[in-house]
């Protein structure tokens, strides 16, 4: 296919990594391999799991990067430019000036390696000790891409439906990057499907696989359409799954006007009691 031609669908690849624990060099080799596969499959974007090059590490002194000049963003940008494909990935930022905690970030680059958008995980995973090391972000983020508006989320955010509803006011596609353990894989798949249905949005979740720091991961990187139909999934092994994302969200929302039936003022009133 001529990449300069007009495309009616966006092709998104989920890069299911078996990362090398806290080893950015080896993990980057895996990223390059999967990116090459995605480009060969004519994907427009490939997305990798949370903390893509290190795994879900709390050793911020070891893996953290300068928030203003992150090396991983630069290196991922070179790969994006080399393969002419947009890339979404996660990394850990060291504390900003005046802060004591870092941030867990999700960055999206265009096919030239330029930053389209960057999101800091809103809900650090207290149960796993993340809240002791990383602070929550303070804004919701969407990025424009190929006629779509894409909402960005990280792992534990998936358990908080309110932010997905808010983002869906602008977005028709939601991306969740995660390091979600196999012991809670049913939660992962159930919540992804629920978010797709309740927000009438495409929902793509990319997870890692393998064993990292004593935890097992099953992958299950998955895409659901706005009706909750399964478009593609990958269980267990490292690899990619490529799915097409259509421009049919607004048609569905106009036909089945669920959002118009929401009672936001009432919900806010109840929250404030």
Residue 3 is predicted with a pLDDT of 46
- The residue whose two tokens read 């690849």 is 13
Q: Tell me the average pLDDT across 252-269.
A: 93
130: its two tokens: 């993340």
Residue 1 has pLDDT above 50, yes or no: no
Query: Phi and psi for 77 in degrees, rounded to 5?
Result: -65, -35
With contact defined as beta carbons under 8 Å apart, do 54 and 14 qualify? no
Residue 227 has pLDDT above 50, yes or no: yes
| Strands 103-109 and 115-120, sheet pairing | antiparallel
**% of the chain with per-residue pLDDT over 90:** 96
What amino acid positions are annotated as catalytic residues? 50, 121, 155
| Domains contained in the chain, CATH given | 10-247 (3.60.110.10)
The three state secondary structure string of 52-82 is CCCCCCCCHHHHCECCCCCHHHHHHHHHHHH
Q: pLDDT (tens digit, 9 = 90+) per residue, 165-212?
A: 999 999 999 999 999 999 999 999 999 999 999 999 999 999 999 999
Rounded Cα–Cα distance for residues 78 and 83 (Å): 9
Q: pLDDT (tens digit, 9 = 90+) per residue, 121-151?
A: 999 999 999 999 999 999 999 999 999 999 9
Tell me the whole-structure pTM to 2 decimals. 0.95
Q: pLDDT (tens digit, 9 = 90+) per residue, 68-115?
A: 999 999 999 999 999 999 999 999 999 999 999 999 999 999 999 999
């Amino acid at each position: 296919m001529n990449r300069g031609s007009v495309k009616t669908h966006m092709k998104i690849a989920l890069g299911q990594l078996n990362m090398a624990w806290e080893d950015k060099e080896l993990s980057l080799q895996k990223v390059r391999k999967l990116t090459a596969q995605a480009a060969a499959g004519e994907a427009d974007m490939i997305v990798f799991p949370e903390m893509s090059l290190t795994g879900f590490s709390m050793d911020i002194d070891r893996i953290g990067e300068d928030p203003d000049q992150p090396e991983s963003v630069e290196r991922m940008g070179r790969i994006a430019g080399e393969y002419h494909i947009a890339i979404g990935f996660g990394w850990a930022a060291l504390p900003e000036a005046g802060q004591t905690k870092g941030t867990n970030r999700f960055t999206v680059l265009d096919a030239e390696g330029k930053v389209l958008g960057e999101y800091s995980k809103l809900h650090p995973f207290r149960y796993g000790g993340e809240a002791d090391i990383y602070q929550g972000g303070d804004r919701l983020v969407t990025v424009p891409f190929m006629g779509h508006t894409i909402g960005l989320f990280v792992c534990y955010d998936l358990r908080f439906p309110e932010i997905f509803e808010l983002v869906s006011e602008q977005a028709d596609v939601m991306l969740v990057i995660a390091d979600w353990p196999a012991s809670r894989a049913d939660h992962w798949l159930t919540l992804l499907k629920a978010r797709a249905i309740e927000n009438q949005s495409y929902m793509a979740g990319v997870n890692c696989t393998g064993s990292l720091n004593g935890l097992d991961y099953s992958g299950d990187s998955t895409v659901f359409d706005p009706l909750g139909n399964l478009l593609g999934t990958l269980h267990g092994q490292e690899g990619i799954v490529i799915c097409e994302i259509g421009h049919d969200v607004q048609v569905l929302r106009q036909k089945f006007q669920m959002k118009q039936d929401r009672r936001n003022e009432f919900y806010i009133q109840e929250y404030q009691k």
